[in-house]
A and B are shown apart, each in its own frame.
Chain A
Amino acid sequence: MSARTHMPAGMEAIEEKGWVRAHKYLLLRRASQLLFLAVFLLGPWFGIWIVQGTLAGSLTLGVLPLTDPLILLQSVIAGHWPELTALVGGVLVLAAYALIGGRVYCSWVCPINPVTDAANWLHRRLDLPKGWQPKRSTRLWILATVLIVSGATGVIAWELVNPITMLHRGLIFGAGFVWAMIIAIFVFDLFVSRHGWCGHICPVGAFYGLIGAKGLLRVSAPNRTACDDCMDCYAVCPENQVISPALKGKSGSTPLILSPDCTACGRCIDVCAVDVFKFTHRFDDKVAAPTDPVPAPDPRAARPI
């Protein structure tokens, strides 16, 4: 711990690596989120029909069906066996996220992510208390509740409130009062509960976490011996309970962040001034050889608060 701890998260990385490199994955993620939104909007806005439909169910180039597997699961539990098209689409999405890593959906695709990211950014800037922090397992309980209610009522229950599909559908088909819901989530994450929605409540994220638990894409901390405990990665990580086992593991333990909660957003890679983290696959558990003793990073050591 040092004076650097008191700098705003990410400042050091910006000074070390430059603004662009210190925001590399953030920029890439925003580009990805925009791209996923754009392919859906090109049709209704400009008449270029690459993708029809919404995140709940879509048809790409008239041939490729994709369906939200959680919605499909609720539908089956509610008593409807879907037609083949929807099932094929669901299996494709399921397979893709099981292979890559489920919560990649959360940080690279989900349109709510920029909203909660913005809330968290402001939360950090205003230095607000973290507020109500229910257990991380709450979202799993909610997921179970959603499935039970779907079965009990015969209605795809989460779609009655799901802000993800509501926002997405709202942008494509007409929003109604969806903006009020988005503001509610923003305010909830800002004042009531830090990382509240995506980190504790959302059963969609919980579902993708489950199916992608063995996904290939992982963040690793191979260079963990270089860590100077500035805590910036903990400050920006939306699921910061996942970092410690990898970063602070005993020598010999895997440097891979294997928790299914990790959304693979890559912000920890961005904000680390000493490049501890990197994206890799789950079988790459190489650790950089510890250089002993750890050289004190001179240029930063003398920096004033």
Chain B
Amino acid sequence: MPFEGKPLSPQRRRFLQDAARASGGCVVAGSMLAWLARDARALPAEALRPPGALPEEAFLSACIRCGLCVRDCPYDTLKLAELGVDAVATGTPYFTARDVPCEMCDDIPCVAACPTGALDPALDNIDDAEMGVAVLVDQENCLNFLGLRCDVCYRVCPVIDEAITLEMAHNERSGHHAMFIPTVHADHCTGCGMCEKSCVLPEAAIKVLPARLARGSSADHYRKGWEEKEAKGGPLVEGLIDLPDRLPGPGTDNLAAPGGFAPAYDLPGVGQ
């Protein structure tokens, strides 16, 4: 059936075909690029961003991959990811704690060098850096957990006694020794990686992980009653009757102590 009215213009047809072809090609190319972009966000756990780095998603919108932070790092900690070699977005700066940790310079030269703010210039105290969080990942091989006094991770920590403390615990194995357990306090840990670098084991028992892997989070509605009680200076709910707590020890229902609830059977090692 022939068309009524004006004949269709071949120029218009040509234009529409070209436009359709070009936009189709762009959709294909754009999808591939977007897929690469998604891929680029997958930062490996052992790759740490420099101090002050924006959260990974924002970082990839801000870092122009110029390498000026790498140039101004006095300890050659930072490097730029190489194409196909490092599993980090190509050309972006990162460091591996076990190779060269961050020395936490007071003047933070890498942040000062960043022209775009991908490393946030608001970071003016290196102790506030959040490059990651150290986690004592292997309690079975950590020498301190075996009852030895290695303490190296504690000693090298630039925020010693705040980011890592040694917590005394009873050594059940020997029965009469103490264990000094290296304990990381995430609020103070900058993720510099000195502990991981210095761990004397062939494979470090303490590792710096990105916060997303290292940390859990508390639900918004959780309240720590004892903190709120202390803040208020009294019971949170008036008129509550405080019943005696059943604590172990004499005068309670401690199974091993007289006066408590006595089971009908003999407990080994407990006098009749």
Contacts and interface: CB of A to CB of B under 8 A. Distances in A.
Q: Do A and B bind each other?
A: yes
Contacts of B37: 149, 153-155, 157, 160
B91 to A, nearest CB: 5
- CB-based closest 9 A-B pairs: A176-B82, A57-B66, A177-B84, A78-B61, A153-B37, A83-B117, A155-B37, A80-B62, A176-B83
Interface in B5-39: 18, 22-23, 25-26, 29-30, 33-34, 36-38
Contact of A155 (B54, B60, B72): B60
B247 interface: no
30 contacts: A54-B65, A54-B67, A56-B65, A56-B91, A59-B113, A67-B115, A72-B116, A75-B61, A75-B116, A79-B61, A81-B117, A82-B117, A83-B115, A86-B116, A89-B115, A141-B22, A142-B29, A145-B30, A154-B57, A158-B33, A160-B40, A165-B91, A166-B83, A166-B91, A169-B67, A170-B82, A173-B67, A176-B82, A176-B86, A176-B90
Contacts of B113: 59
Contacts of A58: 66, 68
Interface of A: 43, 52-54, 56-59, 65, 67-68, 71-72, 75, 78-83, 85-86, 89, 135, 137-138, 141-142, 144-146, 148-150, 152-161, 165-166, 169-170, 172-178, 180-181
A175 B83 CA distance: 7
B215 interface: no
B91 A57 contact: no
B183 to A, nearest CB: 37
Given A54-B65, A59-B115, A82-B117, 11 more contacts: A56-B64, A59-B113, A72-B64, A75-B62, A80-B118, A142-B29, A157-B34, A170-B82, A173-B80, A177-B85, A178-B82
A88 B110 CA distance: 19
A99 to B, nearest CB: 22
B192 interface: no
Given A146-B33, A155-B40, A169 B65 contact: yes
Contacts of A175: 82-83
Contacts of A72: 64, 116
Interface string B65-98: 1111011100000011011111001110000000
The prevalent SS among residues of A at the interface is: helix
A156 B60 contact: yes
A155 B66 CA distance: 15
A160 B89 contact: yes
Contacts of A150: 61
Contacts of B41: 155
B29 A85 contact: no
Interface of B: 18, 22-23, 25-26, 29-30, 33-34, 36-38, 40-41, 54, 57-58, 60-68, 70-72, 79-80, 82-86, 89-91, 113-118, 121
Candidate in A52, A80, A82 with the most chain B CB atoms within 10 angstroms: A80
B112 to A, nearest CB: 10
A168 to B, nearest CB: 10
Contacts of B82: 170, 173-178
Nearest to A55: B66
A205 B22 CA distance: 18
Contacts of B22: 135, 137-138, 141
A56 B61 contact: no
A159 B64 contact: yes
B43 to A, nearest CB: 12
Nearest to A77: B61
Nearest to A180: B84
Contacts of B58: 79-80, 154
Contacts of A157: 33-34, 36-37
B34 A152 contact: yes
Candidate in B25, B38, B79 with the most chain A CB atoms within 10 angstroms: B25
Contacts of B33: 145-146, 149, 157-158, 160-161
Contact of B66 (A54, A137, A153, A154): A54
Given A58-B66, A165-B65, A142 B91 contact: no
A145 B61 contact: no
B30 A174 contact: no
B115 A153 contact: no
B38 A153 contact: yes
Contacts of B90: 159-160, 166, 176
A169 B18 CA distance: 36
A86 B64 contact: yes
B85 A176 contact: yes
A59 B26 contact: no
Nearest to A138: B22
Contact of A86 (B40, B71, B115): B115
Contacts of B63: 156
Nearest to B119: A83
A159 B67 contact: no
A53 B38 contact: no
Nearest to A134: B25
Contacts of B114: 83
A72 to B, nearest CB: 7
Nearest to A174: B82
A56 B66 contact: yes
A82 B71 contact: no
A257 B91 CA distance: 38
